[in-house]
Amino acid sequence: MAVEADTIVKIFKAAAQQPAPASAWILKSGAAPGKSITLLSKWSQRNLERGKMVKFQQTHIIDPSTSKATDMLPVDVSTESLSRISNSDEHRAILREVPSNGSNGANKQYLEIWKHHQLYQNYDLGALDVHGDVYTDDDFSALEWSPCETKILYVAECKVPKSEPFYKPKPQDSKESKENELEKAPQKGEEYTYRAEWGELLVGKHQSVVVICDLKTGLLTRLDKIPSSYSPAQVLWTPDGNGIVGVAFKNEPRRLGLVYCTNRESIIFHLSLDKGEFSILSTAGEAVRSPRFSPNGEYLIWLQRKAGGPHHAGQQLMCCSWKTKKVLPIIGLVNSQTSIANGRPFYGIYASRLPKRCWSMDSQRVLFSTPQLCRVASYVVDIRNGDVTELVWPFEGATEGSGTILDVLQNTVVMSRGSLREPAGLVLADLPPSGQEHTVKWMQVTTWMPPTDLQKCHVQYMPLVAKNTSDSVRDFNAIYIGPQGKPNGSVPLIVFPHGGPHSCFTDEYSLGVRLMVTIGYGVLMVNYRGSIGSGDDSVNFLPKRVGDADVKDVHQAAQAALEQFPCLNPKKCVLFGGSHGGFLVTHLSGQYPDNYCAVVARNPVVDIACMSGISDIPDWCYTEAGLVYNPASVVTKDELDAMRRCSPIQYASNVKAPTLLMLGKKDLRVPYSQGLLYYHTLHANGVTTKVHVYEDVHGLGNVPVEMDSIINSLLWFEEHIG
């Protein structure tokens, strides 16, 4: 009997109450040996009544002698866009966004300085009119205290001259002097001039500028010595406070979409504030991110990969001697896998960023987390010899679940830890001495009652090898989660390939997957060849083979799951995926029309040729089709043919499965015209099809949209699995 909508809504409402850790910060006063540890954590949670994500902060007091934590009541911090505590723990800077009273609906931004349990200073940044909005995204944002704790460093939108029409009626009387009128006179006829942006989720971000707020004078100063051909980001102070370092993205020849893309050409720069000298520390032709100074100020590290190519790939961990400016790799690229210090396999670094504080107390070791096959694993590397050791949980040989390091202070480490069957919580440990890191002992800071519906499920990692091929890369994997103890042939299967294509599924809590298994589905999450976390050769294998190798991998994984788990019903297999996952499920329904009985595709790529001229990442279209992107050239017929041959639209006439399309009207990554093209094509071919169009972006992550889309997806499957 089909599951009713009310039942799914009830399950969703219960699951939506589960918060997720977003960040953690160990207070310096509580990191000394033998003392209680004070930990601040921030969490996000869906608020269905308000239709938005809310954030709250919790304080944890941990007694190391008893391994017990006392939690204070949570405090709502939803209006805090950025927050940073000073090194002394005596000051806190907060960038707060609150709704404006004006008619334009824009938020107002305030920079608050808290000191000695009170609001010490408050800057109305809009009224000061020194710059545009402060950047709060992961790719650009910064909020950093100077070593002397009298200045704040951040990144904002560069202020542009005001503009107005050639003719605009004005008040007859004006008290301003002619001089002031000329000084503030808007530029005429410039209000419609196009200004390039940084794409999906970065609308309105045109040109960034670094700003220093001097708390003694109250003045905001824009730093103008960074060349205008770059957009600065991720800035921090040098150890002596006389300069800054940061990332700078190249503006030319075109600003390509930046979110989810680690391949954008960029530099690590140093700007001397006393001399005004700008210098580049990294090498040309690279893509860099996450600069981090060691506690003793002797080393600067960052993540680095070649610019261009796949939107995400393996990265090197680079180290710069701050005294000599000599740069060497600590961890290089891993083509397939290598064995690390405690005998475990290591597939390379695929992290999008490093923790804000990632160094051991002695400035000799760096801690980081990265996807590895089916999970996120955490590591420590000794910069003296490059030895890498996995920080295992909870004992040597454990495989289930994922752990992400959130903060490190004086060898105290806090990590987010969870799995598909257990929502993420916080764990804490003392980092053992060098060479003994594998003996790390974790204690739980937060504990959740594991959801009963998930504890009854079975999770299986599935290593797979591509069949009937002599390809140089054959290994891939999948994760299966489904109900246990069910009769043979009684469980429908959702085949779920990830997007990207250069991302991966890991063993972490997912609200959507929880809903699927709770109402009785098995879910197969496939990491086909081209996924990250399996060696860089796997990433580089897929371009030119999209629409073929990845499609075959997903179908092979589905057949393997049907064989391995007899409870699954081969006549009730459905497809679910978004972005490149949508590309794959539309391919599968066209290439294997008799194997799948229903499809849900979220913002799917259906025609790469058409998308190449309208996406914020046109280079993706060329790269995945095995071509070279050149923004100065016009696409050729042969290039369009190559893109079309990769695309699922060519198989649309074969499709039989009822197909539900979910599209974001504000999607710049895969514009929703892609989905509409597929809808009209299927409709003309007599296929049962339906489309939902949301006022949302590529990820369809707004709370009301998320709720509507997942519930409608499951109802679509229930209606069409028979």
pLDDT for 396 equals: 53
Q: Which of 579, 589, 612, 647 is catalytic?
A: 579
Q: Which of 667, 692, 696, 709 is catalytic?
A: 667
Q: Does 461 map to a domain?
A: yes
Whether the Cβ atoms of residue 490 and residue 502 lie closer than 8 Å to each other:
no
In a domain, 711, yes or no: yes
Task: Read off the tokens for 263.
Answer: 């391949």
- Residue 364 confidence (pLDDT): 98
Q: Rounded to an integer, what distance in angstroms lies between the CA atom of residue 281 and that of residue 272?
A: 13
Rounded to whole angstroms, the Cα distance separating 658 from 689 reads: 6
Residue 131 a catalytic site member:
no
CATH code for the domain in which residue 564 is found: 3.40.50.1820
The answer to whether residue 633 is domain-embedded is: no
Q: Residue 13: CA atoms inside 13 Å, Cβ hemisphere, count? A: 8
CA distance 528 to 505: 10
| pLDDT for position 486 | 95
Residue 51 within any structural domain of the chain: yes
Residues 6+ apart with CB under 8 A from 471: 529, 541, 549
Alpha-carbon Rg for the chain, nearest whole angstrom, is 26
Residues 548, 445: one domain? Answer: no
Cα distances from 209 to residues 109, 142, 701, in angstroms, run: 16, 11, 29
Domain check: are 491 and 524 in the same one? yes
Domain termination site, one of 428, 449, 470:
449
Domain containing 67 equals: 36-78
Residues 531 and 677 in one domain: yes
Tokens read off for 533: 């976390």
Q: Are 411 and 520 members of one domain?
A: no
Model pTM score: 0.95
Q: Are residues 353 and 485 in the same domain?
A: no
Asked, for residue 693, whether it belongs to a domain, the answer is: yes
Distance CA 596, CA 585 (A): 10
> Quick one: tokens of 497?
């390939």
Q: What is the pLDDT of residue 3?
A: 84
Same domain? For 346 and 376 the reply is yes
Annotated catalytic residue 667: yes
The burial class, CB within 10 Å (0-12 / 13-18 / 19+), for 395 is exposed
> Domain boundary residue among 425, 449, 473?
449
Alpha-carbon separation of residue 331 from 264, 300, 301, 346, 451 (angstroms): 21, 14, 11, 11, 39
User: Considering the domain boundaries, does residue 268 fall inside one?
Assistant: no
pLDDT at 1: 45
Are residues 368 and 492 both part of a single domain? no
What is the three-class DSSP state of 557? Answer: helix
Residue 210 located in a structural domain:
no
- End position of a domain, from candidates 78, 110, 133: 78
The number of distinct structural domains making up the chain is 3
1 falls within a domain: no
Compute the distance between CA of residue 457 and CA of residue 653 in angstroms, rounded to an integer: 38
> What does 437-491 look like in DSSP terms, one character per residue?
GGG---EESS-----HHHHTEEEEEEEEE-SS---S--EEEEEEEEESSPPTT-E
**Among the listed residues 207, 190, 189, the one whose alpha carbon sits nearest the alpha carbon of residue 198:** 207
Task: Please tell me the distance from the alpha carbon of residue 200 to that of residue 669, in angstroms, as a whole number.
Answer: 6
Q: Comparing C-alpha atoms, which of 558, 625, 622 is closest to residue 585?
A: 558
579 is catalytic: yes
Same domain, 361 and 487: no
| In a shared domain, residues 465 and 438 | no
Instruction: Take residue 578 and report the two structure tokens written for it.
Output: 């978004």
- 10-residue mean pLDDT series, the chain (722 residues): 86 95 89 79 98 97 88 96 96 95 80 94 97 98 98 97 87 57 75 95 98 98 97 99 99 97 99 97 98 99 98 98 98 97 93 98 98 97 96 69 96 96 95 93 87 90 96 97 95 99 98 97 99 98 98 99 98 98 99 99 99 98 98 96 98 98 99 98 98 98 98 98 86
In angstroms, the CA 299 to CA 513 distance is 42
Residues 529 and 594 in one domain: yes
Catalytic one among 312, 498, 502, 698? Answer: 698
The verdict on 361 and 506 lying in the same domain is no
Tell me the CA end-to-end span of the chain in Å, nearest whole number: 10
Report the interhelical angle of 703-720 vs 5-16 (nearest 10°). Answer: 140
Q: Do residues 374 and 443 share a domain?
A: yes
Cα four-point dihedral sign 612, 541, 307, 233: positive
